[in-house]
Amino acid sequence: MMDEDAVANGPVGSTRTLLFRVGERVYGCDIAAVREIVPFRPATRLPGAPPYVLGLINLRGILTTVLDLGGWLEPERSPAEGGSIVLVDHGARHVGLAVDEMLDVQGIVPEPLGDVASGRGGVLKGVGRMDETVVILLDVSTLVEQVLA
Amino acid sequence: MDSAQYAELFLTESREHVSAMNHALLALEQAGDAGGVVAGDQVSAIFRAVHTVKGMSATMGYTAIADLSHQLESLLDRVRRGALQVSPQLMDLLFRSADTLEAAVEEAVQGRDAPPGTASLLDALRTFSRTSGGMTAIPAPTTGSVWSVEVPDGDGVGIRVRLVRDTPLRGVRAYLVVEAARRLGTVTAISPSIGQLQAEQFGDDFALRLVTDDVEGALAMLRSAGDVADAVLAESAPEMFDLLALEHAGPGLVPGGGSAGPRVQHHVRIDLRRLDALMNLIGELVITRGRLVQLAMAADDVALTETVAQASRLVGDLQDEIMQSRMVPVGQVFDRFPRLVRDVARTLEKQVAFTIEGTDIELDRSMLDEIGDPVMHLIRNALDHGVESPAVRVAAGKPPQGRLTLSAFRDRSAVVVRVEDDGRGIDRARVIARARERGLIHGNGADLTDDDVVKLITRAGFSTAERVTDISGRGVGLDVVVAGVRSLGGSVDVRSTPGRGTSVTMRLPLTLAIQRSLLARVGGETYALPLTHVSETVELTPETLQAVKGREVLVLREDVLPVLRLRELVGLPRSAQADPEQVVVLETADRRAALIVDDLTTQLEIVVKQFDGVRGGSTLFGGATILGDGAPALILDVSSLL
């Protein structure tokens, strides 16, 4: 199924990728992991949680933990106060990722990341190109696993 | 019809009957101990329970259970008629039968074979009948045979006929019986058909419908027909298919020694999942109501406000009804403990008088399902480690028979369940030794207060049992019980006096799903405090706050309570001194503390929802809820706080 999508939507070997902006950079994640995108809304703070955890939001009666992707990527940044929340499924769990701006969905050919940027527990899993811009590809499942208790 | 549905119903009802049987057995044993007089009522009660299980299992096609209950019934019938005396051997056999029956029921419903030991028990039952009564074969008793044929539909009464086993010319015999019936009235239906009967295509029994004025006379005539073992009126449909069993006596079938007497109830059996779904829906409705009320207030329209107020009241009533429909008396779980205590006490060769109080106290079904195991472990612990052997007790100047009490009572919006014994109490030296071994403390523990020592037992990873016995070992110590109760939003208090006994008190919310809570605010954030753990609220005045040994305490009447500040707990800066503050007195089963908050807004029912915690996040919150404005609010887990 993934291959068919790639053929229909982009160059050979590409993955349908949701692209969004966080700070000055463009990031992307596999669209298959994304369930929904909702406008930013204030979250109820979770005391004791790391600063990049914005807290809980009520999503049609389901409590969803929201992470500030900007805060996680660049700890010195001030927390998100607008933009969108990308809801990703991870097994039975749903986690929201606050991003500054939604950009596009495109077929992106992932390339391995150089040694320099690797790390962050495998969340940064590759790079790709959107027109002339370098896109950093995220493995959101790994991110969710790292952050949730 | 879904057979799984019937299997579930069969399971529920059979459990009730086995429970009734155990009750009657215990009463019978006590009556026997008291003076050797056979309590006919109890034997009849056991007989009825076994008989019903037999009927139901035969209908379900669980032949192993039907066979077992049939043998058991034959034995009981002889006891009932006085042909067999109640002896300790008989009691043991009957208790064993009850256990096997229970196990067989569970297995059968899972589609598995009868448990190992069933065959040997059947042999034992047969042997017992032979050796102590001189009877070599057990004939099928009048009321207690397994019938293989359904009574056909039709006018008149249903009659079942059984031919003498292995009778020659069965087809002819059957035909003659039918002919005899036809002379007595009008035969409206036969099963199997008359043709099949003549062709001997039937088992030992067949059934027919007969329209007659004199049923008893007809039965007598049929019985006297050649080679007829039995002819009986067909019973009405088995109880388990009676979904709308009004005036259904249920488990109250057995006069359980007075307190657990028969209760006539108007009951309908409902799938628990239905009730859960209703509970969820009403939870959502309660949240929506909160929003609606806020919107109506903002709209400032009299008609709208009135309508919303009425709808709001109705939602409240609906919620009460749904909650009520989920409430079950704790007796449903407690009922199995007398038997447990008897067996464990026997194994340990201890003497125990076991008392149960407050069996009619009600708890939400979801909660009740969860407390059975903790209570069982507490009882086992009390018998294993608490109550001493008779010799030790006498040497300590106590009566040889120990006391063990299980009680339940309501306390505000909580239910308290307590297990209390008059045994040796908690052994301080042993606890300290074990805690050191487990690395829970360092040093000799001389500076620990008794309270600290008790607290050690409830710490995770502690277990006082020095060896794994089959009584309370199994690695389940008090620490595990405490963790379990806390996960239910409850708390546990352990009190112990060396040589005098131990009491373990569990304080539980009425339900898991909805909790009445107080909403507290600090720095613009709202937190919910479950009322189960709130004893009172007071306004903070500077003079009530004092420092004792460098720790802040609050003096409330004669009590001195440690002070906690919600702002600190949730990582907010202290408020300016000028702000008026409120104090919430929190209590668990054993501890109290004063929680200082900025303000208290309201008291309301909240729906408890789980959320995914994050690494490093505070463990002070047992869940969260959604407030009237749609915002999530965290629920403080009081028992982990104190």
Residues B72-81 have pLDDT tens digits of: 888 888 887 7
Q: Which of B453, B475, B509 is the last residue of a domain?
A: B509
pLDDT reported for residue B1? 43
- The percent of residues in chain B predicted with pLDDT above 70, rounded, is 86
Q: Which of B133, B148, B178 is the last residue of a domain?
A: B133
pLDDT reported for residue B435? 81
Provide the CB-side half-sphere exposure for B214 (13 A, CA): 8
Residue window 85-144, chain A: list those with CB within 8 Å of chain B.
93, 95
Sign of the CA dihedral with B212 first, then B217, B219, and B224 last:
negative
Looking at the 3D structure of chain B, how many domains does it have? 5
pLDDT at residue A143 greater than cutoff 50: yes
Which residue from B335, B357, B468, B341 is spatially nearest to B401, judged by alpha carbons? B341
pLDDT at residue B441 greater than cutoff 90: no
Comparing CB atoms, the residue among B609, B612, B633 nearest residue A65 is B612
| B241 within some domain | no
| B261 within some domain | no
pLDDT of B496-533, one tens digit each? 888 899 999 998 887 776 778 899 999 889 999 988 88
Residues of B in contact with A48 (CB under 8 A): 571, 616-618, 620
| B82 within some domain | yes
One domain, residues B427 and B402: yes
One domain, residues B350 and B494: yes
Q: Going by C-beta distance under 8 Å and a sequence separation of 6 or more, which residues neighbour residue B19? A: B251, B335, B336
Verify whether the Cβ–Cβ distance A147 to B634 is below 8 Å: no
pLDDT reported for residue B503? 92
Verify whether the Cβ–Cβ distance A46 to B631 is below 8 Å: no
CB atoms within 10 A of CB B262: 13
pLDDT reported for residue B265? 56
Q: Which of B133, B165, B182 is the last residue of a domain?
A: B133
Q: Are strands B362-364 and B327-329 parallel, antiparallel or unpaired?
A: antiparallel
Which residue from B338, B428, B416, B415 is spatially nearest to B383, judged by alpha carbons? B338
Provide the CB-side half-sphere exposure for B43 (13 A, CA): 22
Q: Cβ distance A138 to A29 under 8 Å? A: yes
pLDDT at residue B312 greater than cutoff 70: yes
Three-state secondary structure of B486-499: HHCCCEEEEEEECC
What single letter denotes the amino acid at residue A97?
L
Say whether residue A38 is in contact with chain B using an 8 A CB cutoff.
no
Going from the C-alpha of B576 to that of each of A47, B67, B539, B551, the distances in angstroms are 21, 78, 16, 20
One domain, residues B315 and B336: no
pLDDT at residue B599 greater than cutoff 50: yes
Comparing CB atoms, the residue among B569, B618, B624 nearest residue A63 is B624
Q: What is the mean pLDDT of chain A?
A: 84
> Which range has the top average pLDDT, A119-128, B138-147, B628-637?
B628-637
CB atoms within 10 A of CB B195: 10
Q: Which of B28-32, B404-408, B504-508, B575-579 has the lowest mean pLDDT?
A: B575-579
| B281 within some domain | yes
Say whether residue B285 is in contact with chain A using an 8 A CB cutoff.
no
pLDDT reported for residue A42? 92
Verify whether the Cβ–Cβ distance A63 to B610 is below 8 Å: yes
Which residue from B316, B328, B330 is spatially nearest to B269, judged by alpha carbons? B328
Long-range contacts (CB closer than 8 Å, 24 or more residues apart) made by B190-199: B190/B152, B191/B149, B191/B150, B191/B151, B191/B152, B192/B149, B197/B171, B198/B171, B198/B172, B198/B174, B199/B171
Residue B577 binned pLDDT confidence (cut-offs 50, 70, 90): low
Say whether residue B570 is in contact with chain A using an 8 A CB cutoff.
yes
| B255 within some domain | no
Distance CA A64, CA B31 (A): 60
Chain A interface disruption, residue of B527, B572, B610, B611, most A CBs within 10 A: B611
> Residue B228 sits in a domain of what CATH number?
3.30.70.1110
Tokens for B12, please give them.
């529920």
One domain, residues B128 and B185: no
Distance CA B280, CA B267 (A): 23
Distance CA A84, CA A20 (A): 9
pLDDT reported for residue B257? 38
Higher local confidence (pLDDT), A46 or B511: A46
pLDDT at residue A50 greater than cutoff 80: yes
- The percent of residues in chain B predicted with pLDDT above 90, rounded, is 14
Rg of chain B, C-alpha, whole Å: 32
What value does the mean pLDDT take over residues B381-390? Answer: 89
pLDDT of B223-282, one tens digit each? 777 778 788 887 543 333 333 333 333 443 333 333 444 445 567 777 878 888 888 788
- Work out the burial of residue B598: count CB atoms within 10 Å of its CB; fewer than 13 is exposed, 13-18 middle, 19 or more buried: buried
What single letter denotes the amino acid at residue A99?
V
pLDDT reported for residue B528? 94
Say whether residue A46 is in contact with chain B using an 8 A CB cutoff.
yes
What value does the mean pLDDT take over residues A15-43? Answer: 91
Verify whether the Cβ–Cβ distance A61 to B626 is below 8 Å: yes
pLDDT at residue A140 greater than cutoff 80: yes
One domain, residues B550 and B419: no
Residues of A in contact with B634 (CB under 8 A): 44, 46-47, 56
Distance CA B423, CA B345 (A): 13
One domain, residues B76 and B182: no
Give the containing element (helix H, strand E) for B319: helix B302-325
One domain, residues B518 and B590: yes
What value does the mean pLDDT take over residues B619-642? Answer: 85
Rounded to the nearest 10 degrees, the angle between the axes of helix B302-325 and helix B272-299 is: 160
Q: Cβ distance B504 to B493 under 8 Å? A: yes
pLDDT reported for residue B34? 55
Say whether residue B633 is in contact with chain A using an 8 A CB cutoff.
yes
What value does the mean pLDDT take over residues B424-452? Answer: 80
Q: Cα dihedral angle (B508, B512, B513, B516), rounded to 10 degrees?
A: 10
pLDDT at residue B595 greater than cutoff 90: yes
| B246 within some domain | no
CA distance A149 to chain B (A): 4
Chain A interface disruption, residue of B565, B614, B615, B637, most A CBs within 10 A: B614
pLDDT of B581-592, one tens digit each? 889 999 887 788
Distance CA B181, CA B191 (A): 14
What value does the mean pLDDT take over residues A87-93? Answer: 81
Rg of chain A, C-alpha, whole Å: 15
pLDDT reported for residue B5? 67
Q: Cβ distance B351 to B390 under 8 Å? A: yes
Comparing CB atoms, the residue among B287, B612, B633 nearest residue A93 is B612
Domain that includes residue B304, residue range: 272-325
pLDDT reported for residue B394? 93
Residues of B in contact with A62 (CB under 8 A): 609
pLDDT of B98-147, one tens digit each? 888 888 888 888 888 778 778 888 888 888 776 654 333 333 333 444 67
Residue B187 binned pLDDT confidence (cut-offs 50, 70, 90): confident
Q: How many residues does chain A have?
A: 149
Residue window 604-623, chain B: list those with CB within 8 Å of chain A.
609-618, 620-621
pLDDT reported for residue B247? 35
> Residue B349 sits in a domain of what CATH number?
3.30.565.10
The backbone region for B197, taken as left when phi is positive above 0, alpha when psi lies in -120 to 50, beta otherwise, is: alpha
Q: What is the mean pLDDT of chain B?
A: 79
> Which range has the top average pLDDT, B206-215, B332-341, B397-406?
B397-406
One domain, residues B489 and B383: yes
Distance CA B373, CA B509 (A): 17
> Residue A96 sits in a domain of what CATH number?
2.40.50.180
Distance CA B363, CA B374 (A): 15
- Work out the burial of residue B35: count CB atoms within 10 Å of its CB; fewer than 13 is exposed, 13-18 middle, 19 or more buried: exposed
Which residue from A24, A26, A38, A41 is spatially nearest to A104, judged by alpha carbons? A26
pLDDT reported for residue B106? 86
Q: Which of A16-20, B25-29, B350-354, B582-586 has the lowest mean pLDDT?
A: B25-29
pLDDT at residue B425 greater than cutoff 80: yes
Domain that includes residue A100, residue range: 2-147
pLDDT of B455-492, one tens digit each? 777 776 676 444 444 444 444 577 778 877 877 778 88
Verify whether the Cβ–Cβ distance B614 to A148 is below 8 Å: yes
ipTM of the complex: 0.86
Say whether residue B65 is in contact with chain A using an 8 A CB cutoff.
no
| B242 within some domain | no
Comparing CB atoms, the residue among A44, A47, A50 nearest residue B632 is A44
Looking at the 3D structure of chain A, how many domains does it have? 1
Distance CA B462, CA B431 (A): 9
One domain, residues B518 and B505: no
Say whether residue B525 is in contact with chain A using an 8 A CB cutoff.
yes
pLDDT at residue B88 greater than cutoff 90: no
pLDDT reported for residue B253? 37
pLDDT of A6-25, one tens digit each? 445 567 778 899 999 998 89
The full DSSP string for B581-641 is -EEEEEE-SS-EEEEEESEEEEEEEEE-B----BTT--S-EEEEEE-TTS-EEEEE-HHHH
Q: Cβ distance B461 to B479 under 8 Å? A: yes
- Give the helix ranges, DSSP H, for B145-184: 170-184
Distance CA B640, CA B584 (A): 16
Provide the CB-side half-sphere exposure for B412 (13 A, CA): 14
What single letter denotes the amino acid at residue B189?
A
For B285, nearest residue in chain A (alpha carbons): A61
One domain, residues B461 and B333: yes
Distance CA B109, CA B12 (A): 10
What value does the mean pLDDT take over residues B316-345? Answer: 87
| B244 within some domain | no
For B523, nearest residue in chain A (alpha carbons): A45
One domain, residues B609 and B465: no
One domain, residues B539 and B558: yes
For B570, nearest residue in chain A (alpha carbons): A47
pLDDT at residue B381 greater than cutoff 90: no
Say whether residue A65 is in contact with chain B using an 8 A CB cutoff.
yes
